A and B are shown apart, each in its own frame.
Chain A
Amino acid sequence: MNDVVESRVRRIVADVLAIPLEQLPIEVSPHTVVNWDSLNHLNMVLALEQEFGIQFSPEETTDGMDSLDQIIELLKDKVVAKQPAP
């Protein structure tokens, strides 16, 4: 389940940054990837919101999405929180 979330996030981030998935560097963040500007940050937020049917809070979009790893962790929490109780 978490692996699926991770692979979907990786692909969306790769797509938005226009980097082939297999060429994503080990650390993906605004500091390591030139394409990760404010517009693409917004594009990433919107793409993830649509893909997972969720919404980020303004704080999450400004402080909680500073690298691909952070985004993956955030998404795992949010997607799990969305699952209905058993």
Chain B
Amino acid sequence: MRGTTVSSSDTLRDQIRDAAQAGNWLLVHRGLRSLWEAEAAPATANYIMTYADRLRGRVSLSPCRVAFLRSFTIEPVIPLLRAASLIKGLDLEVQIGGFNTYAQDVLDEKSALYEFSPNVAVLAVQTRDVAPELWDGVDDLSREWAAKIVERVVELYQNLIHAFRRTSRAHLVIHGLDVPQRSSHGYLDDQHFGQEQAIATINDKLRRMAHANTGVYFLDYASLVARHGRINWYDEQKWLTMRMPIAANHLVHMANEWLRFLCPLMGKVGKVLVTDLDNTLWGGVIGEDGMEKIRIGNEYPGSAYRAAQMAMKDLTRRGIILAVCSKNNWADAMEALEKHPGMVLRPKDFAALRINWNDKVHNLREIAKELNVGTDSLVFVDDNPVEREQVRQHLPEVTVVDLPQDPVHYARVLREIPEFERLWLSEEDRERGRYYAAQRERKELEGSAASLEDFLWSLQQEVSIVQVDPHTIQRAAQLTQKTNQFNLTTKRYSEADLQEFARRPGRALLAVRVQDRFGDNGIVGVVLTEDVDGSCDIDTFLLSCRVIGRTVETAILAFLADGCRKRGLEFLEGWYRPTAKNAPCREFYARHGFESVETRGDGVRWRLRLDATAITCPPWIQLTGPA
């Protein structure tokens, strides 16, 4: 019985209603989040969605259109998905295809699916619908029999993926096939190439197809079901009466699984994990217990904290940055981090360290500033509920993770943070931790240099501009999606969009790579241009925050101007479209001698007369263009 939640949830609902009456929509959004965290259930989802219309335009919500192609009743999951998304700042519009019409929907170029023009399509099909002969009543256990079914199903998916890719640039998430609770032939099945192996083979091929096709992703439905237990997941009675296979208390898990894909696809990602130290990274308080008594290592309970550290280390391998925010004496904490034999994470694993007695809200702001990310990219982990509440109140844009009471569960919770899901990984993602360590060294150099110019000379930067090719297109797309600060037009492109962009003549897709004495920064800039009537139009011009303030942008502009002159063009021009975050590049065109020629909405169009104004590459940068 959960009698107590009625009253606490009543209190929350009262607070939400009062906040709405007072017009404090940020507080409403936060209240709804608390309510959802307390009771993620179908009724709560409906209640939350009654606020959706009023929140729109009042708190920051990104619209997202999701189309479901399905073989079973998913309708009751949708309110849960929409509520969970709203909490994460995604405003979903959902289209649901007919029962088992998914093949027609995908194959027909004029279907409602394409008319809806989704950002993301989900192909949610069960084994018992797409391959009923593999679900029950399996009549033959021969390899040939199984191979035939595998071939038929794989071909169907292949056709669907190709048709979808031909017609739409949306992301496509494909459910893998699920596995029956019991094989039709019992354990005899396992002694042959039977039912289960046929399903596993299909899933294996689906994974490969997803990998081989841009913008197609595999959702391991069988694993999702297995995590919650096949016996519990399914509700046979609802299936037989309403074609609704999932039990009531697992609907929310289905919704959350979809959300795990929507978050990275729609750019709702955390970039930095900021962790506390005492009772989070290790058991005990270093300032009181000392090196000998804190619990971290291979023996329980230290092993629970070690597992948590392992989970954090794993996050860095997907490109997540780690930072420390702890109330401690610097020397005590650093001694533990540097010297304790049980530690998995060491100081070099952290891109920023704030170990002091300042309040955490202040420290989190500082960390974001140091790492050149917005505070909305931070995910905060702390065992102390008071600290968490303070951060929630003062920095509502920070994702705050509620660690469970028992450290045994820390590792699991850390591995389940949806903001850290990634569906692709670039070279840069893997190397990011190292970049930030080098960045710390650059900062130290900057601090010691006599002038900014001295610092820029001493960096020994090499900027090379290359055509975007199949090796770099993924990173280029990722940069258009993630770069917020130095981004003149903030147009978001998928890989498929970029390929489309390149198709028209007169267009150039350029990637910018920067190296310096501390190492290779990798691809940190993207420029898209199009020549139109004697003028070169800059569609996109962006730089990663890693290299802001190092005059790389001037070098790129010099390169563009030079190329334009060689192509006999008269003007170089482009829009600056202001966003909440791109103030750092507001003066970019003006500073380089462009003149404003047009204003539309908030946007300003800037133009440079190529014969009147020269742009030269800064002397401390060595610039190379495409071969």
Cβ-defined contact, B6 with A15, below 8 A: no
> Chain B contact residues (Cβ within 8 angstroms of A): what range?
20 to 34
Question: Which A27-80 residues have a C-beta within 8 angstroms of B?
Answer: 39, 42-43, 45-47, 49-51, 53, 55, 57-58, 61
Given contacts A4-B6, A7-B6, contact A55 B237 (CB under 8 A): yes
Cβ-defined contact, A46 with B6, below 8 A: no
Number of interface residues of A (CB under 8 A): 22
Provide the bound-state CA to CA distance between A49 and B46, in Å. 16
Choice from A7, A8, A18, A43 contacting B76 with Cβ under 8 Å: A43
Cβ-defined contact, B76 with A46, below 8 A: yes
Cβ-defined contact, A8 with B241, below 8 A: no
Cβ-defined contact, B251 with A46, below 8 A: yes
Q: Chain B's interface: helix, strand, loop or mixed, by majority?
A: helix
Cβ-defined contact, B42 with A47, below 8 A: yes
Given contacts A42-B75, A42-B242, contact A47 B6 (CB under 8 A): no
Cβ-defined contact, B235 with A43, below 8 A: no
Cβ contacts B513-529/A at 8 Å (1 or 0 each) = 00000000000000000
Cβ-defined contact, B41 with A47, below 8 A: yes
Cβ-defined contact, B237 with A43, below 8 A: no
Cβ-defined contact, B248 with A50, below 8 A: yes
Interface flag for A24 (CB, 8 Å):
no
Cβ-defined contact, B43 with A18, below 8 A: no
Provide the bound-state CA to CA distance between A44 and B32, in Å. 21
Cβ-defined contact, A15 with B237, below 8 A: no
Q: Chain A's interface: helix, strand, loop or mixed, by majority?
A: helix
Cβ contacts B236-258/A at 8 Å (1 or 0 each) = 01000110100111010000000
The residues of A that contact B50 with a CB separation of less than 8 Å are: 18
Interface flag for B44 (CB, 8 Å):
yes
B236 to chain A, nearest CB (A): 11
Given contacts A15-B43, A55-B235, contact A43 B79 (CB under 8 A): yes
Cβ contacts A16-31/B at 8 Å (1 or 0 each) = 1010000000000000
Given contacts A8-B6, A12-B43, A15-B47, contact A46 B248 (CB under 8 A): yes
The residues of B that contact A49 with a CB separation of less than 8 Å are: 247-249
Interface flag for B3 (CB, 8 Å):
yes
Given contacts A18-B50, A42-B75, A58-B237, contact A50 B6 (CB under 8 A): no
Cβ-defined contact, A42 with B76, below 8 A: yes
Question: Which B37-87 residues have a C-beta within 8 angstroms of A?
Answer: 41-44, 46-47, 49-50, 73, 75-76, 79
A3 to chain B, nearest CB (A): 10
Shortest Cβ distance from A12 into B: residue: B43
Provide the bound-state CA to CA distance between A45 and B75, in Å. 13
Provide the bound-state CA to CA distance between A61 and B242, in Å. 11
The residues of B that contact A15 with a CB separation of less than 8 Å are: 43-44, 46-47
The residues of B that contact A4 with a CB separation of less than 8 Å are: 1, 3, 6
Contact surface of B with A, Cβ cutoff 8 Å: 1-3, 6, 41-44, 46-47, 49-50, 73, 75-76, 79, 235, 237, 241-242, 244, 247-249, 251
Question: Could you show 9 A-B contacts with beta carbons less than 8 Å apart?
Answer: A8-B6, A15-B43, A18-B46, A42-B73, A42-B242, A43-B76, A50-B42, A53-B249, A58-B237
* Sample of 4 further A-B pairs with CB below 8 A, known A12-B43, A15-B47, A58-B237: A4-B3, A4-B6, A8-B6, A15-B43
